[in-house]
Amino acid sequence: MPTDTPERAALARAVQHANAFLDGLEQRPVAATATLDDLRARLDRPLSHGGTPAAQVIDDLVADVAGGIVGSQSGRFFSWVIGGGTPAAMAADWLTTVWDQNACLHISGPAAAVVEEVAGAWLKDLFDLPPQASFAFVTGCQMAHVTALAAARHGVLRDRGWDVEQRGLFGAPAIRVLANPDRHGSVDVALRILGFGLDALEPLPLDAQRRVTPEGLAAALARRDAPAIVILQAGELNLAAFDPFRALVPIARAAGAWTHVDAAFGLWAKVSPAHRQLADGIELADSWTTDGHKYLNVPYDSGLAFVRDADAHRAAMSLATSYLPPGGGVARDQLDWNPELSRRARGFAVYAALRELGRDGLAALVARTCEHARALAQGIGGLPGAELISTSSLNQALVRFPSPAPDATDAEHDARTDAVVAAINATGEALFGGVTWNGRRAMRISVSNWRTTNADVARAIAAARAVLEHGTEV
Ligand SMILES: Cc1ncc(COP(=O)(O)O)c(C=O)c1O
């Protein structure tokens, strides 16, 4: 790349550093190695008066963050549900930055608007969602919940003759929120932001597989005196449990309740013929949230909200002002559907990843990561000194490392588990997460990166074996 202008020089350096970073994924430790003090000392340079040449800023930045970048792009990152970036998604994301469109209106970025229109329709088709459903490309599942639950709030109050956008929540009929108690914390934050308050939450009864039971939901909804929102989930973080949507959603609908599903990674089960059944009936719900930056392997930030009742969604989000010319009903203006006004044209990366992978590539990605999760769970859970707690039908698993001491207490088993997870992570060979599940500490295994190979799985199992054989002092 020519380097005759500051722009070209900086971008050329970025390409070089990016390629070196990706080439080094195999060798570098997966966990970050730089300490907080290291990073502060390196990055906290005096802010100059005269500025710094662009290429040098990039070179310095890369040098200063060394060891402070977690290897979540690595095929051996199994901690949280973090996908990598597919090649086309990463490249499209760079172009998004270079084009720097304000994707709030069709007129401020016509191609950005149409790309979202097209990718939104592809996604509804892939997930079997109703073709008339509206959608929003947001920052992550957190804001997707805010968007979808704002639409839900509008819809259930509108049905009671209350315009919440105009009149607010003070004095409105109190909305009941019935939810799966294993829900992700981002649901609670969305409810707080939207003014429901956590006291509005009523936990629904679960079965032994931690799925909401139809009898429990029916009993909870027997009282019909208040507007209600039911929050279910597709893909719980530890067991990847899916609520039985085909049984539950009709019960909620018959009671006039709105069903929202947190499907941050579980909605992607729909793209794999071998896993689709897990999310059976999910399409019957009223709103759905998921992430592009998890299973689709699109760079951050990429969340998605879908809403069956497009009128409720639009009413909750739309902004009309005289200085922003609308798309005139022909083009899709994102500000009618998104919580933000000015925003990144994040549809390009989603569009690129979907085109790159295609339907078969998506199905293979989901199937492959599930096989890898199972192989890791069985490979590590089967080692002497380990105990397999659960594998799932999707991409999550739990393993524990009980203390070998004959009369070890629960606290000692927990401490041993945390020590083994820390020691595996300290090898740099793989990165796993820790969690308290069912009152006990466990190691979480999550696989969602397109890069993970059988060799990565073998390398991670070997690291765990070495720790269990040679002790946790690494
Ligand atoms: C099940 C579930 N729901 C919601 C979220 C929140 O998603 P995000 O971090 O994209 O806002 C996550 C991820 O961390 C998740 O795993």
State the distance from the centre of ligand 1 to the C-alpha of 446, rounded, in angstroms. Answer: 13
Q: How many angstroms does the Cα of residue 143 sit away from the middle of ligand 1?
A: 10
CA distance 295 to 302: 11
Question: First and final CA of the chain: distance in angstroms?
Answer: 43
Annotate 222-286 with DSSP letters as a single string. Answer: S--SS-EEEEEEBS-TTT--B--HHHHHHHHHHTT-EEEEE-TTGGGGGG-TTTGGGGTTGGGSS
| Ligand 1 lined by 184 (C-beta under 6 Å) | yes
Assess contact for 451 and 87: CB atoms under 8 A.
Answer: no
**Nearest ligand 1 atom to alpha carbon 293:** 10
Percent of the chain with pLDDT over 70: 97
What is the overall mean pLDDT for the chain?
95
Confidence band (pLDDT; 50, 70, 90) for 474? very low
| Rounded mean pLDDT, 324-336 | 78
Count helices and strands in the chain by DSSP H and E runs: 14, 12
Give residue 4 CA to ligand 1 midpoint distance, Å: 43
Q: What Cα–Cα distance (Å) separates residue 458 from each residue in 186, 242, 387?
A: 34, 29, 18
What is the tens place of the pLDDT at every residue in 170-181?
999 999 999 999
**Dist. CA 338–CA 347, nearest whole Å:** 13
Distance (Å, whole) CA 372 – CA 441: 22
Quick one: pLDDT at residue 39?
97
Integer Cα distance of 386 and 367 in angstroms: 26
> Which stretch of DSSP H or E encloses residue 413?
helix 410-426
**Could you tell me whether strands 387-391 and 303-307 are parallel, antiparallel, or unpaired per DSSP bridges?**
unpaired
Instruction: Pick the residue whose CA is nearest to atom 15 on ligand 1.
Output: 264
Q: 258-262 and 228-233: which strand pairing? A: parallel
396: CB partners within 8 A, 6+ apart: 81, 235, 236, 237, 238, 239, 240, 373, 444, 445, 446
Ligand 1 in reach of 237 Cβ (< 6 A)? yes
Distance CA 15, CA 28 (A): 19
Q: Which residues on neighbouring strands pair with residue 396, listed in sequence order? A: 446
Query: Amino acid identity, residue 432?
Result: F
Residues 239-262 have pLDDT tens digits of 889 999 999 999 999 999 999 999
Cα–Cα dist 142/162, whole Å: 26
Q: How confident is the model at residue 471 (pLDDT cuts 50, 70, 90)?
A: confident
Strand order in the sheet with 431-437: 77-78, 431-437, 440-446, 396-400, 387-391
* Ligand 1 centroid, distance to 444 Cα (angstroms): 15
Query: Quick check: CB of 141 below 6 Å from ligand 1?
Result: yes
Q: Are 21 and 74 in contact (CB under 8 A)?
A: no
The pLDDT tens digits of the residues spanning 274-316 come to 999 999 999 999 999 999 999 999 999 999 999 999 999 999 9
Tokens of residue 158, six digits:
């509108």
Ligand 1 centroid to Cα of residue 395, in Å, is 15
The closest residue, in CA terms, to atom 12 on ligand 1 is 264
Of the pLDDT bands very low, low, confident and very high (cuts 50, 70, 90), residue 138 is very high
What's the alpha-carbon Rg for the chain, to the nearest Å? Answer: 24
pLDDT tens figures, 103-112:
999 999 999 9
Q: Is 298 near ligand 1, meaning CB less than 6 Å away?
A: no
Give residue-wise pLDDT tens across range 413-436: 999 999 999 999 999 999 999 999
Residue 325 confidence (pLDDT) above 90: no
**Residue 305 beta carbon below 6 angstroms from any ligand 1 atom:** no
- 81: Cβ below 6 Å to ligand 1? yes
The domain segmentation of the chain, as residue ranges, is 6-69, 102-344, 355-470
Ligand 1 binding pocket includes 262 (Cβ within 6 Å): yes
The candidate with the shortest Cα–Cα distance to 281, out of 247, 304, 258, is 247
* pLDDT value, residue 397: 95
pLDDT at 326: 61
How many Å lie between the centroid of ligand 1 and the Cα of residue 13? 33
SS3 string, 28-90, reads: CCCCCCCCHHHHHHHHCCCCCCCCCCHHHHHHHHHHHCCCCCCCCCCCCEECCCCCCCCHHHH
Whole-number pLDDT of residue 319: 83
Q: Count other Cβ atoms within 10 Å, centred on residue 214.
A: 16
Residue range 55-64, pLDDT digits in tens: 999 999 999 9
What spacing in Å lies between the alpha carbon of 142 and ligand 1's midpoint? 6
Architecture of the domain spanning 102-344: 3-Layer(aba) Sandwich (3.40)
Give pLDDT, residue 165: 95
The predicted structure's pLDDT at residue 2: 63
Residue 322 has pLDDT above 60, yes or no: no
Q: Out of 184, 260, 350, 395, give the residue to mutate to test ligand 1, the one with the largest number of ligand atoms within 8 Å of its CB.
A: 184
Residue 206, both tokens: 């679960």
- Give the atom of ligand 1 at the shortest distance from the alpha carbon of 183: 1
Tokens 């500000």 correspond to 335
Q: Which of 272, 191, 189, 190 is nearest to 235 (CA)?
A: 272
Residue 183 CA to ligand 1 center (angstroms) comes to: 10
Say if ligand 1 is within 6 A of residue 398 CB: no
Q: Which band of pLDDT confidence, cut at 50, 70 and 90, is reported for residue 327?
A: low
Cα 372 off chain centre by: 19
Q: Is 190 in the pocket of ligand 1 (CB under 6 A)?
A: no
- What's the CATH architecture for 355-470? Alpha-Beta Complex (3.90)
CB of 290 closer than 6 A to ligand 1? Answer: no
In sequence order, the β-bridge partners of residue 177 are 201, 229
Query: Under a CB-based contact definition with an 8 Å cutoff, are residues 169 and 154 in contact?
Result: no
75 Cβ closer than 6 Å to some ligand 1 atom: no
According to DSSP, the β-strands at 176-179 and 387-391 are unpaired
Mutate to test the pocket of ligand 1, among 142, 189, 278, 288 (most ligand atoms within 8 A of CB): 142
Residue 182 near ligand 1, beta carbon < 6 Å: no
